[in-house]
A and B are shown apart, each in its own frame.
Chain A
Amino acid sequence: MIFKSPTRLAYQVSAGPTTERFLRGILERRILGLRCPECTKVYVPPRGSCPTCAAPCHEEVELPHTGTVTTFCVVNIPFEGQLLEPPYACAHVVLDGADVPILHLVGGCDVSKVHMGLRVVAEWSEEPTPTLASIRYFKPLDPL
């Protein structure tokens, strides 16, 4: 017997001071990381605490919109709830000056030509919202 009983929970979640500062930056097309005072690594998106040193991070670092693809995968398979039309490329992009990658899309090019080490730049949406979807994707800095 299958018993359908949808469960819903409603929350009022606040992003927290660190994430809020980051998202307010995104609204202004600025990418703001935080530097750990002990190991000096720059984290983006920042979480407020260094995962290696457990030190609170307060020094804000504005990052350029350029970076390097360190790994990627091309999604060719359709699935339920898919937001994008395959094929598309998901990638880790390490922004210049950051020490951890952000997971995002690589677009604006033939995805079969995406490769590790590809230099990319953020392509912003017309009207940014307080989410990382305000960057539509990262596109190659130079034509492929």
Chain B
Amino acid sequence: MRLARAIHVCGFAELPPVELDHRSEAELVQAVTALALADAGMQRGDIGFTCSGSSDYVMGRPFSFVMALDGVGAWPPIRESHVEMDGAWALYEAFIRLQHGDVDTALVYAFGKSSLGALADVLALQLDPYTLAPLGVTHEVLAGLQVQALRDRGVEASLEGAEHRDGAAAICLRVGGEGPRIAAIDHRIDAHDPGLRELTRVPSAELAARACGTEGVEIAHLHAQWAHEEVLLREALGLSCETRSSRMADVPMVSGLANIGRAAQAVRDGVPRALAHAAQGPMLQQNLVCILEAA
């Protein structure tokens, strides 16, 4: 991947995923961004660009993403953006923003709560409102189809879902300097209609992995909602190394960003090359791959 500027992860923090966190978005974001900034040895005033990933539908209130800005000190106004996606995509935006050359630092954060009880219904709203939703099709139904497709191919698979939690994560990025370097990052999306896909493959993950290059990766942090997705991802990403999954403590909108932080932490701990993966949508519809290397 040819880049104008080398971007390094210089700070990372995540709040331990818990079953129920009563704190508001502003309180979650204040806590996690303060920890990430401290980890980076930075002050809020040092940050050139701020980007967040969250979902108002997950949080159950309108403009939740705006209310969260009280937690980062956004008055007077700062350069700031938001994606209604897992925070890994907010990091992608910040990564691109830092390539422009006029700012050198970024703060990326994500927050989400599954304790509000509506997660499965919220996710079902991602599906086509005319042809799928009225039939009662949900992410679970589609995952079941995928399990059956795998069995028909002779792969052992069963429908084992995620344990969902509340939490938040934050990452500080810097141009140059020390800390794990983002060697490559790419994200791709498959067709919206599940009928257009070959269910035992994940073409978008394959493409993102090919664009990044996954050879030499020693540890991979995967973002899966179902056990069989971990099998599919190992194949799609071409992995033969140790893999870890965020599935048993999944925080909606957060796990993908946290995986990038965890992969960066592995590099800090001495792993030369680590992979982070993030996914959104049913049946691994959209996939992001990020490769971290020692600076």
By a beta-carbon cutoff of 8 Å, the part of chain A in contact with chain B is 3, 5, 7, 9-20, 47-56
Contacts and interface: CB of A to CB of B under 8 A. Distances in A.
A5 B129 contact: yes
Given A10-B121, A11-B116, 19 more contacts: A3-B130, A5-B133, A5-B134, A7-B125, A9-B122, A10-B117, A11-B60, A17-B22, A18-B27, A19-B24, A47-B70, A49-B26, A49-B30, A49-B71, A52-B75, A52-B76, A53-B73, A54-B30, A54-B73
A49 B27 contact: yes
Contacts of B26: 47-49
A54 B118 CA distance: 30
Contacts of B49: none
Nearest to B116: A11
Interface in B63-113: 67, 69-76
B192 interface: no
Contacts of B117: 10-12
Nearest to A53: B73
A5 B23 CA distance: 34
Contacts of A12: 115-117
7 contacts: A12-B117, A16-B24, A49-B26, A49-B27, A50-B73, A51-B70, A51-B74
Nearest to B117: A12
A7 B60 CA distance: 14
Interface in B1-48: 22-24, 26-27, 29-31, 33-34, 44
Contacts of B61: 13
Closest 4 CB pairs of A and B: A54-B73, A16-B24, A11-B60, A49-B30
Interface residues on B, range: 20 to 34
B261 to A, nearest CB: 20
Contacts of B115: 12
A52 B22 contact: no
B24 A18 contact: yes
A9 to B, nearest CB: 5
Which of B24, B29, B33, B125 is most buried by chain A, counting CB atoms within 10 A of its CB?
A: B24
A13 B116 CA distance: 6
B70 A49 contact: yes
A100 to B, nearest CB: 10
Contacts of A16: 22-24, 27
Nearest to B133: A5
Given A3-B130, A16-B23, A19-B24, A10 B118 contact: yes
Which of B33, B60, B130, B133 is most buried by chain A, counting CB atoms within 10 A of its CB?
A: B60
B121 A54 contact: no
A9 B27 CA distance: 24
B30 A56 contact: yes
B130 to A, nearest CB: 7
